[in-house]
A and B are shown apart, each in its own frame.
Chain A
């Protein structure tokens, strides 16, 4: 599948709500520890060039400024987060972005800028098992990948990150593929924390489950089945991905273990069950997407209470990773949903 690279222009600094102009906020260097506000380390910048007294429901987030680094959650996990702020950040309701299974910051930064250009604040969360979060955990013993990483635990991690960032008001949550499953799960478990759910080519169900052989690997007459299935899955992932992302290269085995634990953790996930009865859930689906079938998405959408179903243009057929293939399209769609320009209606 050809994936067109997205090369966004650098965003213009948006104006912010300002009461009193002050000197530019300092930029912390990565690795610095700050125990005061939940940040472990990272880099902060002020998008406005000025710091101001910020008010509004998201003032606490806005006051932290733009940030790329780790936050320590209540559970004691260091989660890598990137915050980019749109115009009027104190009142600009952010969207949480959960990328696909192989998420890492360098892959997503272009997309974050596209969303910011739409004057939409975005909080990208790199979940346990993914990218920078996995790299940090692996260097400390790899606790997160000792077991399969369940969707419920990932949903809790999202909430704990929002708590650590001081975001208590409902926000939007968007997810691509694996991230779509976690976005839906987060809404299911914590509906008061989200006002809109945006699913971009979301994970529908386990590929194994949709294969006839899956039944044999879980057949009660086959005590070998479960362990052979796991072994086959793990060795397939090892062979399929010989190129380890830069952030995980110093941590031998981490990338594949992360992929494996994230994959197995979603074995029981079914999108239609998760979004059943959900309100304000919006689908952006790719034509001819063999990794997130339009039919499976349509069936899931029909079970929702309200939402919308948008099919990407035919020119994107087969481009499962729509964020990298056409980031502008996804960014515009997210901004439109967040602004209420995409209406939530009852599925037909």
Chain B
């Protein structure tokens, strides 16, 4: 019995109610965490803004060149609250539109890496033997290439596909590059958990009742490792948003739509001339989202960590 102060206190508190499921415990714990609720609200706000980006109004507003080049931020028009860029476009509208791009890219990439990571982790942990060795080989290989380099290599390789690059503004390239790079961590975690669960009685019982492999994997084991997926999703989004910035900087990012990465990239020369508003706006947008996601991810991890429940 470890004297972890947090686990002792939490365990003492959790003994208060009759045993409940992991999810209800976690939800109860999250509800008590005011900071986490605030972050959840912030993320929800971003989602709303992202959805707004699908409307034609915002699209038009983001590409209209209404103002003077590098016009300073001022109160006189809503579009000028954050100033104008070198083509006279409103930074504010571009920023808001960029939310849509950022979240679309991040969510799609995360979904891909979650899908790949979970599937591979499940089959590796469950079946073991040569399948396990194969998956380990796969993720050792992918892991051996530093993430940035891998993204670069993938983005570079996919550049030749004209449709992906020009007609879809390079979004699939970015999404694929991010998604196919980020699955390793989750895969490893899930594989470990599945291997632990494989030996548990409920799996043996299910097999004794005649359940097939697929059913056991998806209906019995997967719900028990789902919390890892949630945590990975939240923290993976942070990585994706920041990686998009990196790719944009390298010219491998989204091509003709406004994205936060492009805005920061454009800013590199502007800044030395004293034009700060575009980079500050994009940085702030990224910072607030990443901060909220980080805190939320940590809170989720604390809430879902079975060790803190005092049992097991």
A binds B: no
Residues of chain A touching chain B, judged by Cβ–Cβ distance below 8 Å, are none
